[in-house]
């Protein structure tokens, strides 16, 4: 399964080797980007992470996408479904290269990832594991309609920072929000 998702400004596709030097290694080696994700990685571990992310696609039938900026073709991050062994719930996550923060890309990619999880994978709900101090990521979760659910423990080696927040939403809530926002858009269009 190699789906490609398209949003207004982004393409989401399965990661590939060329992504490694196009931004993947730099992102995973950046102390600021990895502050709430168990810390910066040397290139050797960043490559293993790429192999793990690509490997989830054939193993699980889904996985995280690379995010490509349409305008430039550059790699700007990773986002999408994620469920390693022992994970508390099926996740849709987001990680953006520092040069791509502050543009709404995480929210745009996460929204596409959630749609994919609900409409293509048929998940009944999605979760997002977020460090209690990662307010930027909590804001993304809020913008896509998720709410804080409970504190959870992650499996090793991701348990080093202690318990983490689990945010999320159900497919039913997502569908209700979609139909009320498209109803609001129809009503605004009919008034103009
Ligand atoms: C968490 C993270 C994805 C948040 O990135 P972000 O750029 O703040 O989030 P978004 O992509 O939703 O962008 C929202 C910001 O873009 C701004 N923005 C600019 N143009 C925009 C547009 N056209 N549409 C929407 N928002 C836009 C918004 O105003 C907002 O800025 P603000 O927070 O200053 O108000 C990012 O900090 C990151 O990747 N961190 C490292 C990895 C990480 O921690 N991932 C999460 C793990 S749980």
What's the mean per-residue pLDDT of the chain?
A: 95
Indicate whether 25 belongs to any domain: yes
- What's the pLDDT at 105? 98
Model-wide pTM > 0.75: yes
Indicate whether 190 belongs to any domain: no
pLDDT at residue 174 tops 90: yes
- What's the pLDDT at 69? 98
pLDDT at residue 89 tops 70: yes
Indicate whether 30 belongs to any domain: yes
* Cα-to-centroid distance, 51 and ligand 1 (Å): 26
Domain region containing 76: 5-176
Q: What is the CATH number of the domain that holds 34?
A: 3.40.630.30
Residues 6+ apart with CB under 8 A from 120: 3
- What's the pLDDT at 114? 98
Indicate whether 32 belongs to any domain: yes
Indicate whether 192 belongs to any domain: no
In this structure, the residues whose C-beta lies within 6 A of any atom of ligand 1 are: 33, 36-37, 94-96, 101-107, 130, 134, 136-137, 139-140, 143
- What's the pLDDT at 191? 67
**Ligand 1 mutation target, pool 103, 108, 111, 146, most atoms within 8 A of CB:** 103
**Ligand 1 mutation target, pool 26, 66, 76, 101, most atoms within 8 A of CB:** 101
- What's the pLDDT at 186? 73
Indicate whether 183 belongs to any domain: no
pLDDT at residue 41 tops 90: yes
Banded pLDDT at 1 (limits 50, 70, 90)? confident
User: The tokens of 161 are what?
Assistant: 């920072």
Cβ atoms within 10 Å of 77's Cβ, excluding its own: 27
Looking at per-residue pLDDT, the higher value among 186 and 135 belongs to 135
* Cα-to-centroid distance, 93 and ligand 1 (Å): 13
* Cα-to-centroid distance, 103 and ligand 1 (Å): 6
pLDDT at residue 61 tops 90: yes
d(CA 85, CA 91): 12
Q: How far is CA 110 from its chain centroid? A: 5
Indicate whether 189 belongs to any domain: no
Three-state DSSP class for residue 130:
strand
| Torsion region of 99: left, alpha or beta (phi above 0 gives left; psi -120 to 50 gives alpha) | alpha
Cβ 105 vs Cβ 3: under 8 Å: no
Query: Count of domains in the chain?
Result: 1
E runs forming strands in the chain: 5-6, 10-13, 65-69, 75-82, 91-96, 125-130, 147-152, 164-170
Percent of the chain with pLDDT over 70: 98
* Cα-to-centroid distance, 104 and ligand 1 (Å): 5
* Cα-to-centroid distance, 164 and ligand 1 (Å): 20
Tens of pLDDT, residue by residue over 91-101, are: 999 999 999 99
- What's the pLDDT at 192? 59
Indicate whether 185 belongs to any domain: no
């Amino acid at each position: 399964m190699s789906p490609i998702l398209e949003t207004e400004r982004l393409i989401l596709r399965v990661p590939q080797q060329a992504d490694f030097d196009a931004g993947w290694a730099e992102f995973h080696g950046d102390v600021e980007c990895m502050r709430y994700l168990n810390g910066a990685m040397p290139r050797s571990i960043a490559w293993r992470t790429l192999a793990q992310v690509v490997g989830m696609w054939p193993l699980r039938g889904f996985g995280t996408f690379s995010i490509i900026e349409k305008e430039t073709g550059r790699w700007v991050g990773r986002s999408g479904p994620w469920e390693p062994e022992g994970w508390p719930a099926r996740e849709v996550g987001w990680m953006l290269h520092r040069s791509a923060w502050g543009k709404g890309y995480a929210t745009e990619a996460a929204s596409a990832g959630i749609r994919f999880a609900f409409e293509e994978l048929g998940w009944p709900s999605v979760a997002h594991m977020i460090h209690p101090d990662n307010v930027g990521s909590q804001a993304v979760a809020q913008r896509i309609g998720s709410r804080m659910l409970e504190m959870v423990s992650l499996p090793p080696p991701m348990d080093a920072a202690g318990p983490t927040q689990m945010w999320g939403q159900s497919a039913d809530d997502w569908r209700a929000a979609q139909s009320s926002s498209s109803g609001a858009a129809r009503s605004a269009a009919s008034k103009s």
